[in-house]
Structure 1
Amino acid sequence: MAVAERGACPKGGNNGVFADLHAALTPHQAQVEAERCFYCYDAPCTTACPTSIDIPLFIRQISTGNALGAAGTILEANIMGAMCARVCPTEQLCEEACVRNTAEEQPVRIGLLQRHATDALLADGRQLFAKGAETGKTVAVVGAGPAGLACAHALARAGHAVTVFEGRDKAGGLNEYGIAAYKAVDGIAAREVDYILGVGGIEVKTGTRLGTDVSLDLLRAQFDAVFLGMGLGGVNAVGVAGEDLDGVFDAVEVIAKIRQGEPVAVGRRAIVIGGGMTAIDIAVQIRLLGAEDVTIVYRGEEARMKASPYEREVARTRDVRIKTGLKPVRILGLNGKVTGVEFAGPGGEMEIIAADQVFKAVGQKFLSGEAAVALEGGRIKVDAERATSLPGVYAGGDCVAGGQDLTVAAVEDGKIAARAIDAYLRA
């Protein structure tokens, strides 16, 4: 059943389907919220930010009416500040660390203030950054996601010529294809990419995939340095019988289709297997698109779910059921179509949940094909400067060992690698 055939879709946002999860602050609201900040000298919020944004400074700038100056402070540390303001788990990072976060009061709404500033800059359109004096050095960046674009932007500002190779048709990576549509309405991901590329000195070649269209050996031969930021590949298999039945879907692929405005099949009863952000994102979106009954099933205890308590609450307020302690045993079907999933409880008891759709969201896998790069735990092994086992080759983001699967962490990886690459090229 196609999206257009169900009528429970909120208006506004992605092609008129999804409304914004949070309304933007008005100028007056931003002023009032900014004045709640204590502007701490040793600000715990800044320490908690993976990109070390000077949060007290940008909030003070907002309080004085200088939203564009605040945006400059933010983007100097995190060039993807607009999207991070929407998708970063601020409730677990900067806002959790806020000194106002007590039993008596709420933390300063840092995420919404960051969005206020960066949205003001994107609406204004002025470019705060410039390409550096040309060094004559060239760098290949694989992947136009947060890590790759952050690295490319920093390298262009340093004066190096950067070519970004992206396997998909659009730049943006996870922000463009992997984030729930209700978190990134009005084309914000694409507008942010346009702003990043506006610095100059960055060429993007889409539809060009490492291992298929270009090889690492070729890039090393043609460029002075290489950065690998291709993210992760497909979703892991659940590992039970019935995964090939009609009605079993890869959650990441479906999220990408929703973000691109493509028709998506919506059943009446859906099961999502997994416990991370992808599980929450697909469950909420399928529910908003008209599914009458949506259940997230996670094999462990709820406290071990990678999805934050806030995100789990978002799901529950959209009438998504979360069941834990159930391990999938097999996906059931009739005449080749899904009818439900059989689960085993902690005591060995069996439970069958009926469904006409099953979405797999049990983690993604790194697909390399470049065996020359040393791997660790199935992902690229890097040192503190994000250097790989090959000279002149660096990596960051979700594809590296220890990657946190967060946009903000990927941006920081790109920044760190860019500094190391710049030093390498100037040595």
Structure 2
Amino acid sequence: MNTENSENYSQQQLALDQMFKDINPALSARQAGIESSRCYYCYDAPCIKACPSKINIPSFIASIHSDDLTGAAKTIYSENIMGGSCARVCPTEILCEQACVRNKEEEMSPVKIGLLQRHATDNAKFDGHPFERAASTGKTIAVVGAGPAGLSCAHRLALLGNDVEVFEAQDKAGGLNEYGIAKYKLTENFAQEEVDFILGIGGITVHYNTALGEDITLSQLKQDFDAVFLSIGLQDTASLSLDNEENDSVINSVDYIKELRQASDIAQLDIPLDSAVVIGAGNTAIDIACQLKRLGTEEVTLVYRRGEAQMSATKHEQQIAKDHEVRIKTWSQPEEIKLDSDGKVTAMSFRKTYLEEGKLVGSDDLFDVPCSAIFKAVGQKMAYPATEQLIPTISNGKIATFHNQLTSIEGVFAGGDCTGVGQDLTVEAVQQGKLAALAIQQSLNSPEEK
């Protein structure tokens, strides 16, 4: 979207957009042509095996090389209907690009698969939706949660001829793409444009501000629909278990990113201008730290209790933090949140840690990091509604799934971050939604159709 020509964008919104320009600028047509020529179009392509959504990567790159961007995009969307956002947020450096055969030669330079995927999906010209729905099955399926897993499942079910009703707790669809991804990865209004594209297939109705356990129940959905898909995400944040954690300046990183992504004016944000501490080691910790630097926080320190090698954020993400001049302190665990006489955060105390026979041990060495705000990014957990009487089996705090995303309750499937399947990646969630849709379709077929 060209924000400079849009009447819907205020000057404040434009200022925010400029502050959060795309961290990975798109390829030009010439660059895409040169890059696509580097692909060997492997017969037994390792990049496909490394792609969670199993996109035929050599095929779509060959289409780009032939200047058929629409054909390339259709190849991508046939396996991953959220190929546009995945091209922006997927850690290709540890997936398809790591598997690329060019990454194993002396040049050590894989084909830029992610950027080529973005080039195709950004520049395709479809006459309407790229796929046509199958004849009606007469079945209606409920999808709870309009994040990547839910939208992927809903789209595939609609494509197969089913009617789908999506129940979303927020007032917008998109899940983490809308509310939880760093603003410099999914810029401007891309997340909502992708939602509109997905819903364009037809047969999908979205009910907003409708939460499981409050406005609807699983028992009710099982009674009213032919099948149910749960993609409720992770709604709660792990605690530091420290005194003063309830202080207003001790902030949930996910909530702050959500506020930032929905803000139309930087004045709406409470920004710590002098110093902030981020606790965590995953992509959310990196995202919040880098965004704070872009917002103008002078000193941002990211602290983790183990070493860089154990951080769940990829090396690529860690480098992004370093490029933003984020200070990374490892082998340090939170010990105390320090306040002044007025109740304002002044510092956080940490205890140096080390490994002893493979176990993390705290030393006697304490140190303080001065700060005016603390951002928690120590992991999310599921908060299944306490009011729900019908609950699928929970394992390690997440919904347990078995063959083809089926839960312990007949006719109820689950996917995305609320399950313990795969990595917590957008592309994984999309794949789980797609596989669940195919399993639901099979389960609803008559024995003759099977």
Per-residue CA deviation, residues 188-216 of structure 1 (Å, 9 max, x unaligned), is 11111111000000000110000111010
SS of corresponding position for 1:51: coil
What are the residue-to-residue correspondences of 1:232-247 with 2, within 5 Å? 232-247=234-249
CA spacing shift, 1:13–1:108, aligned 2, 3 Å: farther
The offset of 1:11, in angstroms, is: 9.9
Identity value in percent: 50
- Residue 26 of structure 1 and its aligned partner are, at CA, apart by 0.7
Aligned partners of 1:12 and 1:78: how far apart in 2?
31
Give a deviation string over 1:120-176, Cα, whole Å, max 9, x none: 13x656410122211111100000000000000000011111000000010000111
| Paired residue type of 2:145 | G
Tell me, yes or no, if structure 1 residue 295 matches structure 2 residue 301: yes
Task: Give the TM-score normalised by the residue count of structure 2.
Answer: 0.90
Give the Cα separation in 1 of the matches to 2:27 and 2:181.
22
* In 2: Cα distance, 1:141 partner to 1:11 partner: 33
Of 334, 337, 343, the match for 1:336: 343
Tell whether 2:345 aligns with 1:326.
no
**SS of 2:164's equivalent?**
strand
Matches within 5 A, 1:63-102: 63-102=65-104
Q: Distance in 2 between matches of 1:216 and 1:418?
A: 18
Q: Could you say what the CA RMSD is over the residues aligned between the two structures, in angstroms?
A: 1.5
2:159 corresponds to: 157
Tell me the distance in 1 between the aligned counterparts of 2:255 and 2:334: 21
Aligned residue number for residue 231 of structure 1 = 233
CA distance in 1, matches of 2:131, 2:35: 28
Question: What amino acid sits opposite 2:337 in the alignment?
Answer: I
Structure 2 counterpart SS, 1:397: coil
* CA distance in 1 between partners of 2:287 and 2:47 (Å): 26
| 8 Å CA contact 1:245, 1:333 repeated in 2 | no
Q: Superposed, which structure 2 residues align to 1:94-113 within 5 Å? A: 94-102=96-104, 103-113=106-116
Q: Distance between the aligned counterparts of 1:206 and 1:186, measured in 2?
A: 22
Q: Report deviation, 1:348.
A: 2.7
Deviation of the 1:303 alpha carbon: 0.7
Choose which of 138, 142, 147 in structure 2 pairs with 1:140.
142
Which amino acid letter does the alignment assign opposite residue 419 of structure 1? L
Aligned equivalent of 1:7: none
In the alignment, structure 1 residue 266 sits paired with structure 2 residue 259: no
Corresponding position of 1:358: 374
Distance across 1 between alignment mates of 2:69 and 2:55: 15
Question: How many pairs align?
Answer: 417
**Contact 1:246/1:336, CA 8 A, preserved across alignment:** no
Tell me, what secondary structure is at the counterpart of 1:295? Answer: strand
1:12 touches 1:18 (CA, 8 Å); kept in 2? no
CA deviations over 1:247-285 (Å, ceiling 9, x no partner): 110000000111112522111100000000000000000
- What amino acid maps onto 1:354 in structure 2? P
Amino acid paired to 2:83: G
SS in structure 2 opposite 1:373?
coil
Post-superposition offset of 1:424: 1.1
- Which digits, 9 at most, give the CA deviation of each residue in 1:51-82, with x for residues without a partner? 00000000000000001100000010111000
SS at match of 1:385: helix
The alpha-carbon deviation at position 15 of structure 1 amounts to 3.9
| 1:152-231 equivalent positions in 2, closer than 5 A | 152-231=154-233
Q: 1:13 to 1:87 in 2, by over 3 A?
A: farther
Q: Which runs of no fewer than 5 residues in structure 1 stay unpaired?
A: 1-9
Q: Distance between the aligned counterparts of 1:67 and 1:402, measured in 2? A: 33
* Residue type of the alignment partner of 1:336: G
Closer, same or farther: CA 12–104 of 1 in aligned 2, 3 Å = farther
Q: CA deviation at 1:372?
A: 2.3
User: Partner amino acid for 2:300?
Assistant: V
Q: 1:96–1:324: structure 2 CA closer, same or farther, 3 Å change rule?
A: same
How many angstroms apart in 2 are the aligned matches of 1:14 and 1:229? 31
